[in-house]
């Protein structure tokens, strides 16, 4: 596939990067080039317009925008561009500390704040919204949009669906063979 970046991944803070990495992983798996940036709607407001112009000049076909809390980024970007925006509501992860720790910080309402902020855009500037922290789904949705014009991506998506189907059949056969008690013991040991 060509190396021209066709998807923009943006996030409101470096603390969103761990969640947004899930989107990058899927796009990488499908060999779809993407550009990743931090654009904060409240800390760098002047960059919103600049980024939207940059995205259009670059020929991005989709923008995936993740933000937590009041989560203005996806909606603000959508209001600045014709490019479809997929919003990822983030239940904030604190990975900003120099020393990596497993401790997490949560947005005040467990991500519901960002989910509503992103999905409840007033009529006129829609943002398609995935579930809380579901950056992988945002990437899959982006691929579906791209697949309208790209038969290679469409073929890979069909294969991805087939793999999901086969995965369930394989697990179901094993469950049937072992019985539920043994299956659970093995799967969650």
Residues of the shown chain interacting with ligand RP5 in the complex, contacts defined by CB under 6 A: 12-13, 15-16, 40, 67-69, 90, 92, 96
Comparing CB distances to ligand RP5, the nearer of 41 and 128 is 41
Shortest reach from residue 77's CB to ligand RP5, in Å: 12
Instruction: Tell me whether residue 97 or residue 151 sits nearer to ligand RP5 (CB atom).
Output: 97
CB closer to ligand RP5, 30 vs 66: 66
Helix (H, G, I), strand (E, B) or coil at 133: coil
For residue 56, how many C-alpha atoms fall within 13 Å in the half-sphere facing its CB?
A: 11
The C-alpha torsion from 23 through 28 and 31 to 35, rounded to 10°, is 70
Q: Judged by CB, which is closer to ligand RP5: 43, or 186?
A: 43
The nearest distance, CB 72 to ligand RP5, in angstroms, is 8
User: Least distance to ligand RP5 from the beta carbon of 87, Å?
Assistant: 11
C-alpha distances in Å from residue 44, one per residue of 39, 48, 70, 123, 177? 7, 8, 15, 25, 57
Beta carbon of residue 114, minimum distance to ligand RP5 (angstroms, whole number): 7
Q: By three-state DSSP, how is residue 5 classified?
A: coil
């Amino acid at each position: 596939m060509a190396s021209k970046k066709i998807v923009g991944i943006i996030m409101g803070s470096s603390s969103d990067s761990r969640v947004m990495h899930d989107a990058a992983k899927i796009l990488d798996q499908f060999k779809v080039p993407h550009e990743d940036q931090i654009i904060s709607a409240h800390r760098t407001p002047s960059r919103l317009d600049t980024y939207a112009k940059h995205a259009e000049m670059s020929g991005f076909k989709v923008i995936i925008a993740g933000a937590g809390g009041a989560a203005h980024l996806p909606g603000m970007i959508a209001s600045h561009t014709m490019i479809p925006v997929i919003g990822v509501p983030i239940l904030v992860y604190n990975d900003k500390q120099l020393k990596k720790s497993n401790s997490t910080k949560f947005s005040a309402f467990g991500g519901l704040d960002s989910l509503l902020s992103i999905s409840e855009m007033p009529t006129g500037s829609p943002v398609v919204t995935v579930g809380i922290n579901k950056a992988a789904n945002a990437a899959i949705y982006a691929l579906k949009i791209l697949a309208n014009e790209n038969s290679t991506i469409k073929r890979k998506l069909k294969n991805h669906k087939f793999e999901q189907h086969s995965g369930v059949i394989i697990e179901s056969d094993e469950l049937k063979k072992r019985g539920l008690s043994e299956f659970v013991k093995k799967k969650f040991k």
